[in-house]
Every structure is written in structure tokens, then in C-alpha cells.
Chain A
């Protein structure tokens, strides 16, 4: 199973990612500032952000590309993971907050709370927080998905109720009395595992960890989609009713893959928060979730590498545009991307390239005097 999952493309992709994971921190830490190859720390954080987004895109590609579930609420899982990490980081501040309260985070002191709410218990322990990073999004996805898939909510209906879910969470997290910092969110972090989050070394380590998480996520996705489980997912995507008639429990497959995907999104969020230094309810906004979907669409749905490439490309474009004089035009470009990709590039970048290469291979075999090549003659002239 694993050898089949790790085909040549996957190994190349993983090797590239590993090289980046090593090279960027090295260029940041080992080279002096004056060196032309030096990567400044802010870029390390920026790249780290892209990598986290790539992991989020990967999780969306897993369910959308391979199982046809379009979730417009994946930002919610991302943000929940981020909040779990943020809560750990808040507890690490300890007595160094503005109010100097050793137990309560600043915003609770400000709201005149006397004791730590139940939801915050245990978050001073890193392993517990990491467990929550997986468990909270996973559990939400499990419950939500169980309700949704059981009653066969599919297609756009599912998309809309996931959007409603993230919208409801957005409203809830904006409230002060919900206990997660209200609209300011959680910020002002100091330490992670005893290291200063602002330090160059920590940032480099976080970047490397994010790359590792992305590699791991990629491998997990590859193993999943290359296995029999993945075949069933694709069958569900292409003909759900037929897969059900063949005896597969469609709901269970969907629920399983949805939950796994939510956990991945949670991990992405958890790695994102220490690198940007803040998590606030804005992350729950439905627009964020839809934007993540377009990363996948640009890169190519159903091609895991495409999700990663799409996320990095679109976010790079966003950074370039929104930081310069072109800022007012970014939304035009983003909107145009949504329209253009769905109209003219439905396979995405990677999907189109793969399709084109497959077409060439077929043409090549057709041209070759191959007596056993009769089967390929049924394929249309894809290259044209």
C-alpha cells in the first residue's frame, strides 16, 4: 500500500518540500544579514504562513477533490485548531501579562472574571493542547458530518450549511462572554515550549515544523487516496448513488474522510497562530473558507500537489497585491480568479498539466507501431 502511495511524483514533491524546510531556516540563521542569500525573519514567518495555508488547502482537496464534498466552512476547523494553540500560548504568558495575574489571561482579568473557565483547564500542558488541536475540530466535524451525511445532505446544500456553521461560530467567538477573548481574540504571546515566539530560532523551527506537518499531511493523503478507501471515495465522488447500491456505506466513508480532513485543518491552524502571533474570530469568516477553496481550484482539485501549489501561488499574489499601490484591485483579481478558473481552467494548473502530459503520452503511443495499443484508440485526441 505504502509503495503504491509513494509514486515518483510524490517523492519528488516531498524531497522539494524537505529541501525548503531545511534551506529557508538555514539561510535565515546561518547567513549574516548582509549576505544576498540571507532570508529575513519576516519572510520566514510569511513562508510559514503559506505552508500552513497549503496544509489547509490539502485538507480541502482531500474531501473536495477525492470525495466531492465542498466544505465552505473549513476555515472553522482551521480557526478552532488555532484557538486551541492560542489558548496554550495564552497560558504560557503566566504572570507576564499587563495585569500580572499568574492564572488568568489579561482579557479575563479585564472582564473581571475570578476563575479560569472549564474550557481553559489543562491548556497549560502542551500535550493536552496538541490533543485538543486534533480533537476539537475532529469532534465538531464528526458530529456535524454525522448529522449532515446521515440525512444525505449533499452538494450545494452541504456547502451552505457548512458556511452557516462557520458563520455561527464567528458570531459566537465575537462574544466576550463566550470566554475566548471576544473580538480581540488571543494575542500577545510570549513563549512556546519555553522558547520566545518572536526569536529568530523559534520562527525558523516553527517554519520547519510546518513544512514537516505539510509533508506528513501529504503522505497521509497519498496513502488514503491510493488505498482501497481512496478508490471508494472517488467512486462516491463520481456516482454516489451507484456506490451506495454496490453496498458501500457512503455515509461512513464521507464521515471518516471529513473528520480526517478537519483534523488536518486544525493542525494547520495550530501552526499558523504562533507564526502570525494572533488568532481572532475573523478567521471564522465565511469569506476565508471560500478563499481557501479557490486555492485548491487554482492548483487543481484532486491533485494533492495542486492544492499546495495553488495555496502558495494565490497567497503570494495576495501578499504582492495587497501590500502595494495595487491593493484596491486585489479583490478584482481574486474575483476574476474565481470566475476564470471555473470557466477556463476547471482542472486547475496541475490538473491541466497532467492532462496535457497524459494526452501527449497517448499520442506518442498511438504514433508508435505498437500492436497491443488498440485499447488507447478509444481515447479521444486529448492533446488537441
Chain B
């Protein structure tokens, strides 16, 4: 009985409020909006939203307010569709001005604070935290008292603290308590709030805010360092992927492969082809204008999530074959002439780039992230994206596998033998020419799988490889040839150093500084961090 009474009284209040929209006066409309925002009626949200979108119509003749819901006119009070629609001439759109729009937004914010969906409540609370509109305080406090979801509750408490700390008429104790809460929160926005208190703030509040701000700054500094270190590790892993293939060809064979970047690019394009085939549900190959071509249907269960597990081995095989082809057709004639090899492989890189440009066009190709690689998670103040995390793991795994291969397989043993003493290796029956071809193929294949990883974070275009080749060379020169550990250390050192220099010097100057540092470093260790010792040096 009591419940019905309250409900009826509320309905009356809601109806009274709606009457304010009929007068076509801005003052009345504002009073109506504010009342709707402050009141707790479930129908209020639809009305205010309609007002914001210009779908709220006044029908002064029938003294009712209608909502234009995609052509159907609904009574705002009952929610029922008005069956004989009144002639449009009788209806007046409720108008808004800029001041009203702010009131509408505030009312919407207050109303969403009590929305049934917790995610929307959370958004609303965060919006209030940002706007710290003193008018929303009663709504926030009302919502806070009813809230059950802990995340929304803490967000509401933060919003309340943000309002309290900036409003001059709040009691001092409440403001100091608010400072404490913001200090707990400890992020950039809390810092911004604390360091920009309005003038006329009492000294005690100001003092508390200052010390809290200092504490937050310290904590943020640490998080920033961690973030930089993470970015550095991430860049380092990319450099490592791009450089280990180079380290193998350079270390084992003494061959500078300027086409290495193009192997990376081919790997990235392999990923693109795989994804395209999965999207089309068929692998199609055709040479335009000749009528030569075929189409291979793929099972429908194959989704884009599988594209990378397929692309990695495929890219390894494709680029490995290209590498062996290059070795057999060009490089083996140029052994012992490193400068000529450099020029010839540069020529090959031009040809490969242009070939890809001819086949796929010069524009960037769209390569999407599989679902398990998209998104990010928060670790304290650290935001870590899954694709970067996967690439770090992937490059370390590749490195470990390569090390294991060199250490424990027959091919690895023979490769090391050829590196250490080519003549002696040949004498004990190792077919050095075959080892050379396989080594070159291995280095190229690893560049190919680096390309698969890079396709996830960079633009896939014919110039992809060019942007990594100089950095990769720097890693190899810095780390020293003939030792994969040197490449690992070199890649991560350069990656982290780069990211730590960036905030001070900017991205470009940071890179220049790195190049200068490497040139200076070579002064002290002309053959890199982990140089080969003994006779191999002069070979």
C-alpha cells in the first residue's frame, strides 16, 4: 500500500516535471532537465536522451510530451505509442541552447550513474571524475549509497573525491580525506587534480595535496621507467628477430647480406597471403594476363586465428628457399670478396622489392591481428599489449631454438666447424658448399619468420625491410659476429637504450645518439662486444 502511494506520488512529480517542457521557455526546460536528473525515475533517461537528440516533442494542446522513437510517437509518461498520431503542426520540438546542453549532459550523467548495466555505471562514474562537476555531487552520493559492484563503487568514490577536493564549500576534513583517496589512486589524472587545486584552498588541504602529489610523482616515475624498459624489451625483441638471421650469415659465412631486410619483407607478405587465402576460403594463384593459375579450397573451419601458426613455418620455407636460391645463383661465386657480395645482395634487394611491388602493389597491405594477439592488459600502471608480449616470447623462443640447433644437431655442429676453420672442416669431409647454402637458407628463413612477427606491428609494404636493415646491422656490429649471445645482448641493449633516450631527446635524436654511440663503441671494441678470438679474427 505504502509502495503504491510512493509510486503514485513519484509519478505525479514526474508528470509535473514533464509539464515544464510544454512552455517553450529555456528556463522552464532547464528546471525540468535538472529535476529529471535529480529525481530517480526510470523513465527519465529516455526523456533526457530524446531531448539531447532533438526527438522530444511537446504537444501543448493535449498537455503531454512525446518521444519520437524512429517515427513512432510515444507518450513520455506512459511509454505507450500514441495511436492516432496528432497532426505534426500541433507538435513543437523542445529546443536547446548551449547552456541547456550542459544541463542535459549533467542530467544524463547523473541518470546513467544509476543505469542497470554496471559497465555503463562505471563509464558514468569515470566521466564525472573527469568533469568533477559539483552539481553531480548529490547524484554521486546517492548512487554511492546504493552501489553494490566494487569497481563501480570505487570509481564513484573517486568521482566524489574529485568533486570534493575542488569544491571550495566542502568541509576541510572531507577534502583532506579526498586527498588521501586520490593519493591511493596515484595515476596521472589524480596528479593533475592534486596539483591544480583552485585558488583559496585552505593551507592544510593544500599541504596535504602537495605531499600527495609528490608521492604520486615518485611512484609514476618508477612506473614510467618500467614502461620504458618494457618498450625497450619489446623493441629489442624485434631487433633480435631481425638480426639473428643476419648474425648467422655474417658470422658463419662472412657474407654481408643486404637483401636480409627483403627476406623479412617476404615473410610479412607470406602472412598477408595466408590471411588473404583464409579470408577467401581458398588459396588462389594466378598470373594476370596469361590464364595460368589454380585455386585450392581451404576448410571453412580455418579462421584468422590460425593464420600465424600456418604463416610461421610457411614463411620459413619460402624465404629459406629464396635464400638458398640466392646463395646458389649469386653468392657462392663471390666468396672471399665481401665488398662485392655487399653490392650484389643490394642489387638483389632492389629486385625483390620491385618484384613485390609489381605483384602486390606499392601500398600497405592489411594484416590483422588474430584475436589472441589483440587487446592489452594492465599491470599496475603498465599497459602491456598482447601482440608485443607474444613477439617478445616468440623472439626468445626462436633464439633458444636456434641456439639448441647449433649446439645439438648435426647441421649445427657442421656449421660451427665451418665457422671455426673452413679448410679443416672440408678436410674432415664436411661439404662446406652445402653447409654454406643451408646456412644462408637458415638465416633467410629466420628473417622470414621475423617478417611474420613484424607484420603484426608494422605496415606491410615493399619498404618494410629497408626500415630494419640498418638497425639490424647495428645490432650485429655491436654484438660482434660469430656469437649469437652477442646478438641477444646487442639487440636488447640497443632496444632499451633507444627507448630510454627517446623521452630526453625525441625519437629521431635518440636514434642518432645511438648511431653515434655505436660508432664510438667500435673505437674500443672494433669487433663488437663478443668478439671471436684467435685466428678466426683475421680470416
A residues apposed to B, CB below 8 Å? 70, 72, 144, 147-148, 150-153, 155-157, 159-161, 163-165, 167-168, 171-172, 174-175, 286, 290, 293-294, 297, 328-329, 331-332, 334-343, 346
Interface pick from B153-161, B269-277, B336-344: B336-344
A-B contact count (CB 8 A): 118
B: interface residue count bin: 35 or more
Residue of A nearest to B508 (CB): A171
Min CB gap B345→A, angstroms: 8
For the complex, is B536 an interface residue (Cβ under 8 Å from A)? no
In contact, B522 and A153 (Cβ under 8 angstroms): yes
In contact, A172 and B508 (Cβ under 8 angstroms): yes
Cα–Cα distance between A150 and B516 once the two chains are bound (Å): 16
Question: Which of A156, A157, A168, A339 touches B516 (beta carbons < 8 Å)?
Answer: A168
Given contacts A70-B339, A174-B508, A164 and B474 within 8 Å (CB-CB): yes
Cα–Cα distance between A171 and B509 once the two chains are bound (Å): 8
Given contacts A161-B477, A164-B515, A338-B344, A156 and B339 within 8 Å (CB-CB): yes
In contact, B519 and A165 (Cβ under 8 angstroms): yes
Residues from chain B with Cβ under 8 Å of A144 in the complex: 519
Cα–Cα distance between A339 and B515 once the two chains are bound (Å): 29
Residue of A nearest to B519 (CB): A161
Q: Mark B404-423, 1 if CB is under 8 A from A, else 0.
A: 00000000000000000000
In contact, A343 and B343 (Cβ under 8 angstroms): no
Residue of B nearest to A72 (CB): B342
Min CB gap A266→B, angstroms: 20
In contact, A164 and B523 (Cβ under 8 angstroms): no
In contact, B526 and A152 (Cβ under 8 angstroms): yes
Residues from chain B with Cβ under 8 Å of A341 in the complex: 343
Question: Which of A152, A167, A338 touches B346 (beta carbons < 8 Å)?
Answer: A338
Scoring A157, A293, A294 by chain B CB atoms within 10 A of each residue's CB, the highest score goes to A157
Residues from chain A with Cβ under 8 Å of B520 in the complex: 147
Interface pick from B10-18, B43-51, B188-196, B347-355: B347-355
In contact, A156 and B519 (Cβ under 8 angstroms): no
Q: Can you give 15 contacting A-B residue pairs, CB < 8 Å? A: A152-B526, A155-B338, A164-B473, A167-B470, A168-B511, A175-B509, A286-B470, A332-B355, A335-B346, A335-B351, A338-B346, A339-B351, A342-B340, A342-B343, A343-B344
In contact, B526 and A159 (Cβ under 8 angstroms): no
For the complex, is B256 an interface residue (Cβ under 8 Å from A)? yes
Cα–Cα distance between A293 and B348 once the two chains are bound (Å): 15
In contact, A156 and B526 (Cβ under 8 angstroms): no
Residues from chain A with Cβ under 8 Å of B343 in the complex: 290, 293-294, 297, 338, 341-342
Chain B residues 508 to 531 lying within 8 A of chain A, measured CB to CB, are 508-509, 511-512, 515-516, 518-520, 522-524, 526
Residues from chain B with Cβ under 8 Å of A161 in the complex: 477, 518-519, 522
In contact, A332 and B354 (Cβ under 8 angstroms): yes
Residues from chain B with Cβ under 8 Å of A340 in the complex: 347
For the complex, is B333 an interface residue (Cβ under 8 Å from A)? yes
Residues from chain A with Cβ under 8 Å of B334 in the complex: 342-343
In contact, B511 and A335 (Cβ under 8 angstroms): no
Residues from chain B with Cβ under 8 Å of A332 in the complex: 350-351, 354-355
Question: Which of A167, A172, A342 touches B344 (beta carbons < 8 Å)?
Answer: A342
Min CB gap A285→B, angstroms: 10
The 5 closest A-B pairs by CB, nearest first: A338-B347, A335-B350, A335-B351, A331-B354, A335-B347
For the complex, is B403 an interface residue (Cβ under 8 Å from A)? no
Cα–Cα distance between A152 and B341 once the two chains are bound (Å): 21
Residues from chain B with Cβ under 8 Å of A290 in the complex: 343, 346
Given contacts A167-B515, A335-B349, A339-B347, 9 further A-B contacts (CB under 8 A): A155-B338, A157-B477, A161-B518, A164-B518, A168-B511, A168-B516, A171-B512, A175-B508, A331-B353
